[in-house]
Amino acid sequence: MIRLENIEKYYPQGLQKYYVLRRVSIEIKEGEFVSIMGPSGAGKSTLLHIIGMHDAGWDGEYYFGDVAIHKMKPKDRAEIRNRNIGFVFQSYHLLDHLTVYENLEIPLSYRDVKKSEREAIVGDVLDKFNIVGKKDLYPNQLSGGQQQLVGVARAVIANPKIILADEPTGNLHSSQGKEIMELFKRLNDEGTTIVQVTHSDVNAAYGNRIINLADGWLKD
Amino acid sequence: MENILRDLRYGCRMLWKNPGYTIIAVLTLALGIGANAAVFSVVNALLLRPMPYPNFERITYVWASDSNGENRFSVSPHNYTDLRARNQSFESYTAFHYTSAALTGGGNPESLSAINASAEFGKVAGVQPLQGRWFTAEEDVPGKNLVAVISYGLWQRRFGGKEIVGQNIQLNGESFAVIGVMPKGFNFPSDSIEIWKPLALDLSKYQRGTSFLQSMARLKPGVSYPQAQAEAMGIAKQIERENPNTDRDNGFKLNSLREELVGEIERPLWILFGAVVLVLLIACVNVASLLLGRATVRWKEISVRAALGASRWNLIRLMLSESLVLGVLGGMLGLLLAAFGVEWLIKINPDAVPNPDEISIDRIVVGFTMLMSVVTGIVFGALPAWQLTKTNLSQAMRESSRSASGSAKLTVIRNGLVVLEIAASLVLLVTAGLLLKSFWKVLEINPGFRAENVVKADISLPRAKYKDPWQQADFFRRALEGVRAMPGVQTASLTTILPFNNGRRATSFNIEGRPVAPNTDPPDADNHEISSEYFKTLGIPIRAGRDFTDADVRTSAGVVIINEQLAKLHWPNENPIGKRLTVGSPEEVQMYGKPVSREIVGIIGNVKLLNLTDEFNPELYIPAAQMPNSWMTLVVRGKAAPESLINSIRQVVHSIDPDQPIRRPLALETMVARSVAPQRFVATLLMVFAGLAIVLAVVGIYGVMNYVVTQRTQEIGIRLALGAQRGDVLRMVIGQGMKLAGIGIGIGLIAAFGVSRLLTKLLFEVSPTDTMAYAGVSVLLAAVVLLACLIPARRASNVDPMIALRCE
Ligand SMILES: Nc1ncnc2c1ncn2[C@@H]1O[C@H](COP(=O)(O)OP(=O)(O)OP(=O)(O)O)[C@@H](O)[C@H]1O
Ligand SMILES: [Mg+2]
């Protein structure tokens, strides 16, 4: 589903290049649950953003299915991203002044889904995630675990093929973290590909493969 | 006290360390406060400062009016005498008329503005001469009246300030004894009067109904205007009952001295004052918004201070002292701007306001400005201080780490400020737009003559020297011939009444073959005595018939030319040429022994007489050679510069009679421009203020939108990560700006609708609800807001989601 060939990423540092990723080649198959691990500063988030097509400043080849992303214009990339990828963030990034319901609606609103359809989809997801009772609350009226639950719900709402999660449980209690990981497992069982960045072996254990990064290099 | 000083010192240091912010804030305030100080100095000089006459508020003009108190006319000698004898409200009551006096003997002849007034003039003014005395009732009778009071200025200029009381001077060829010198600055009842002499009214000379006087009274202490007005009206009714033929539908209208002087400019001035208050409001909003924007930066400082034990009041005081310093700095700079501004105002438009010399930055203006600066500082400082210190400590600490949702509230407030700013700008712009459009319409009016390349000079022959009317006519004939022969002169002529020069003079007339029905007034018209080529000189078109020629003289047949308006009124379906009418003024009867029958020989185009906005009046023109006058106005059209044309006139007059001065030489264009000077003044200023408002609004809206984008950077990053396109973000930011614009414009339209009612009287052929003005201004403001949003919006759409999200 995703194939990266010799991905390189650097930041200019004075006259020199400061490499964050070196010759990273990985393949992720449909239905996999992959965990990216490695020390702080290794380039995990960077890699995830490249996969997520937020970052366009890199060298190498990126195939999404049959599509050569590295040859595409940013605008076309965005379209592929919107159709296929959902994101979960470490600090949830719910919008403070929108209710749970409205937060869930955002991705749909950017994908030209009709209003009636949106209502149905949001209602579905609220139901599935068991947060119907919270739909009119604001993020700051929720616990961290509940906020991340909404974060995950928001990631799946547009029915992506793949979910990218950057330390989704980093700000959570272990018990709340467990809940999220089990949710991911369930989504994975239903066919969604999942790529997560994590520091925790326990969380990594939910997945079926681990990619190790150190100083921008892949390690086996 | 010590604490306050420390706060002030700290405030100054904060400002010093943030020069960009300080400069913008101080400049903004200086513009707002400066505009206020400038307009206030005019308001102060004209409307607030006491006039230099004891108990001036009791001095009132008394005009003749219709029986319902409308319109105002000059007062007849008989009515003046009756009102004076019968009323109980006036402490003193004087009648007077403006005149001119040619001062000769010792130096160049000079034509001076003079007043002939009845004996109580000095009592009404309430000012005693610096030397000598006012004239007495004994001197206010024909034959005893050759005494004069002179102005301080004339005394200094002509007589070197040497002993003058008791000496004689030559006025209009007669010898007057100087009995008094007025103090410096005394210019009652209006500017530039230099001679006051007795009126010496001889009632027997005038029929009832002949009116040419102005009158002024000083009310008794404790008598109110409505009381005095009601009494005068009652007396008018009595007079009407006693003289039903001559005094039908008459009344008296009292108008205080102040109203008389500033009546026309008063409403525009208050409107200007309202406008600058709006400008100041917008400036305050901007600075308040700026302070709120800095709140985010100061959040940490405030919470640390609070953690160290500062009370809320301590914190508010700390922040207010900063804004006070800003206010005072802005005020001082503003005062400076105002001083230059006022000078500039008067220079560009010296005729717009009465007594422009009185306008100055005096202590009251300085005091007002400083007070305003302090109040301004508190007003724009209070809201941010209140908001910023409201959040409790734990919240503040937490929010400084997370994206501050407390600052979402600040955003709401700042949005509110933007709405207020847009609404205020709209009101100001609509007001300016309406008045500007109205002024435009006035300027577009065709006065009926062509003013360019025409100059004029008034000549008033002293009757003592030129006793015989035909002697006067001879003088003017020679003057005209002389001027016509001067180089650069194309055409020249003479007239008694020149448009935009010296008022109007109406006369009644009879159309031969159409007897006037009993109990109705004969028709009347504005009356001019002119010499040949008058219409050519002024560019007034001859529609039918002919102009006067040099063959239309005393001994030839009586002729008259009428304007289209008169033709339309009295011969709507006939050709008036060849019809006959008689004017039959007392002077005419005296000269010819009977009313002269005049044949209509020409019809000319209509002409505006006093104001561009006047209706056209019926007018008739008589050859000056058939009806001589002691005072006439020379009009000259020529290619030469106005000054050289005026010099030619002066030379010619001097060569005929070295003792004869000319008065008020001016270009006709200047005179027309003067008639619209107040409108021009108000329109110019409003345009300046509206421009100021727009600039301030752009800066303010830009600041707020920029701040909003900064606040929302992370949110925008999230949205981009969730699939928003650049265009979505652009639309979102601009949409937010336009939403504010929409609300602001909506509120502004309602407010402007209300405010514009105050303008009705000032507008000419423009409705206060003129759709174009409202729509145009709304579109303009929306465009301005769009512009102000563009840069922040572009910045927002360029947010890099990676960087925005990395702050976790
Ligand atoms: N804008 C930038 N300019 C320069 N260097 C950057 C920039 N952004 C990231 N880096 C560097 O890139 C490297 C990789 O960062 P990245 O965020 O991918 O690490 P990470 O593996 O996610 O670490 P963590 O586990 O702490 O989240 C880091 O050394 C970081 O300092
Ligand atoms: Mg990371």
Residue A11 CA: nearest ligand 1 atom is 4
Interface check A118 vs B, CB under 8 A: no
Q: pLDDT band at B314, cuts 50/70/90?
A: confident
Is A43:B796 a contact under the CB 8 Å cutoff? no
The per-residue pLDDT for A190 is: 92
> Which has the minimum average pLDDT: A11-20, B294-303, B372-381, B470-479?
B294-303
Q: Which atom of ligand 1 is nearest to the CA of A43?
A: 18
pLDDT at B377: 87
Over residues B404-415, the mean pLDDT reads: 68
Question: For position A34, what pLDDT does the model report?
Answer: 96
For B721, the closest of A54, A90, A158 (CB atoms) is A54
Q: Is the pLDDT of residue B647 over 70?
A: yes
SS (H, E, C) B690-713: HHHHHHHHHHHHHHHHHHHHHHCH
Does ligand 1 have an atom closer than 6 angstroms to the CB of A194? no
Q: Which residue is it, tokens 């018990």? A: A175
Query: Which residues, 6 or more positions from B537, have their beta carbon under 8 angstroms from its beta carbon?
Result: B454, B491, B492, B493, B635, B636, B637
Q: pLDDT grade, residue B807 (50/70/90)? A: low
Q: Measure the CA–CA gap between B170 and B112, rounded to whole angstroms.
A: 12
Q: Is the CB of A212 under 6 A from ligand 1?
A: no
DSSP state, residue B51: P
Report which residue type is found at B479. Answer: A
Q: Is the pLDDT of residue B578 over 60?
A: yes
The DSSP 8-state label assigned to residue B182 in this structure reads P
Strands B168-171 and B619-623: unpaired
Rounded-to-integer distance, Cα B765 and Cα B442, Å: 9
CA distance B289 to chain A (A): 21
Atom of ligand 1 nearest to the CA of A199: 25
Task: Lowest mean pLDDT of A17-31, B202-216, B257-271, B370-384, name the range.
Answer: B257-271
**pLDDT band at B407; cut points 50, 70, 90:** low
Residue B398 touches chain A, beta carbons under 8 Å: no
The pLDDT of residue A210 is 94
State the average pLDDT over residues B783-789. Answer: 89
Tokens representing residue B280 in the block: 């100041």
Of the candidates B384, B352, B416, B365, the one whose C-alpha atom is nearest the C-alpha of residue B33 is: B365
Phi, psi of B794 (to 5 degrees): -65, -40
DSSP designation for B725: -
Residues of chain B with Cβ-Cβ distance to A55 below 8 Å are: 802
Residues B320, B382 contacting (CB under 8 angstroms): yes
Amino acid at B779: V
Chain A nearest-CA distance from B293, in A, is: 19
Task: Report which residue type is found at B633.
Answer: T
Q: Ligand 1 within 6 A of A42 CB? A: yes
Most confident of B61-65, B71-75, B663-667: B61-65
Chain A CB within 8 Å of residue B713 CB: no
- What integer pLDDT is reported at residue B506 of this predicted model? 74
Neighbours of B8 (CB within 10 A): 18
3-state secondary structure of A13: strand
| Residue B399, pLDDT score | 42
Average pLDDT, integer, range A53-58: 83
Determine the 3-state secondary structure of B252 from DSSP. strand
Place of tokens 């110019």: B684
Exposure string (b/e) for B560-587, b if CB count within 10 Å is 16 or more?
A: bbbbbbbbeebbeeeebbebbbbbbbee
Q: Does the Cβ of A41 fall within 6 Å of ligand 1?
A: yes
Atom 16 (ligand 1): residue with closest C-alpha?
A43
Q: Which residue does chain B place closest to A52, by CA atoms?
A: B721
Dist CA A190 CA A205 (whole Å) = 18
| Range of weakest confidence among A149-163, B370-384, B728-742 | B370-384
Residue (of B331, B401, B327, B416) closest to B369 by Cα position: B331
- Cα distances from A138 to residues A91, A96, B97, B183, B448, in angstroms, run 15, 7, 82, 79, 73
- Separation in Å, CA B808 to CA A1, A36, B97: 29, 18, 87
By Cβ distance, the residue of A49, A90, A96 closest to B408 is A96
Q: Which residue of B has its CA nearest to A74?
A: B725
Q: How confident is the model at residue B195 (pLDDT cuts 50, 70, 90)?
A: very high
Q: Taking the CA of residue B279 as centre, how many other CA atoms within 13 Å lie in the half-sphere pointing to its CB?
A: 33
Place of tokens 């005068």: B232
pLDDT digits 0-9 by tens, B140-167? 998 888 999 999 989 998 888 889 999 9
- Residue A107 in contact with partner chain B when CB distance is under 8 A: yes
| CB A44 less than 6 A from any atom of ligand 1 | yes
DSSP secondary structure code for residue B610 in this structure: S
Q: Which residue ranges make up each domain of chain A? A: 2-216
Say if B641 is an interface residue toward chain A (CB within 8 Å): no
| B244 has a pLDDT exceeding 80 | yes
Q: Cβ of B724 under 8 Å from any chain A Cβ?
A: yes
For residue A36 and ligand 1, the question of a CB distance below 6 A is answered with: no
Q: Report whether residue A84 contacts ligand 1, using a CB cutoff of 6 Å.
A: no
Which residues are CB-contacts of A199 (< 8 A; sequence separation ≥ 6)? Answer: A37, A167, A170
Reply yes or no on whether the pLDDT at B309 is more than 80: no
Per-residue pLDDT at B541: 92
Return the best residue to mutate from A44, A166, A200 for the ligand 1 pocket (most ligand atoms within 8 A of CB). Answer: A44
**Ligand 1 pocket: which of A10, A19, A20, A36 to mutate (most atoms <8 Å of CB)?**
A20
Residue B714 at interface with chain A, using a CB cutoff of 8 Å: yes
- Give every CB contact of residue B785 below 8 A, 6+ residues apart in sequence: B422, B697, B701, B737, B738, B740, B741
How much distance in Å is there from the Cα of B143 to the middle of ligand 1?
Answer: 110
The one-letter amino acid code at B21 reads: Y
Residue B803, judged by CB atoms within 10 A of its CB (0-12, 13-18, 19+), counts as exposed
User: What single DSSP character describes residue B543?
Assistant: E
CATH code of the region A2-216: 3.40.50.300
Check CB contact of A81 with chain B, cutoff 8 Å: yes
- Shortest CB distance from B724 goes to which of A55, A110, A140? A110
pLDDT digits (tens, 9 = 90+) for A126-157: 998 889 999 999 988 898 889 999 999 999 89
Cβ atoms of B435 and B754 within 8 Å: the answer is no
pLDDT at res. B307: 59
Contact residues on chain A for B808, CB-CB shorter than 8 A = 89-91, 93
Residue B397 binned pLDDT confidence (cut-offs 50, 70, 90): very low
pLDDT band at residue B395 using 50, 70 and 90 as cut-offs: very low
Residue B508 burial (CB < 10 Å; 0-12/13-18/19+)?
middle
* Cβ count within 10 A of residue B557: 12
Interface with chain A: mutation pick from B407, B713, B722, highest number of A CBs within 10 Å: B722
pLDDT at A60 over 50: yes
Kindly state the DSSP code that residue B762 receives in the 8-state scheme: G
Q: How far, in Å, is the centroid of ligand 1 from the Cα of A215?
A: 10
Beta bridge partners of B732: none
Question: In this model, does residue B400 exceed pLDDT 50?
Answer: no
Instruction: Report the range out of B61-75, B449-463, B742-756 with the highest average pLDDT.
Output: B742-756
- Average pLDDT of chain B is 85
pLDDT on residue B224:
93
Task: Give the pLDDT mean for B661-667.
Answer: 87
A154 in contact with B, Cβ within 8 Å: yes
What ipTM is given for this predicted complex? 0.72
Within 8 A of B714 by CB-CB distance, chain A residues are 93
- In this complex, which of B408, B722, B808 lies closest to A87 when CB atoms are compared? B722
The pLDDT of residue B402 is 41
The gap between the terminal CA atoms of chain A, to the nearest Å, is 21
Residue A43 CB–ligand 1 contact under 6 Å: yes
Burial level of B786, CB count in 10 A (0-12/13-18/19+)? middle
A199-213, B61-75, B511-525: least confident range: B511-525
Read off the pLDDT of residues B96-131 as tens digits, 9 standing for 90 and up. 988 878 788 777 777 788 899 999 999 999 999 999
pLDDT band of B72, cuts 50, 70, 90: confident
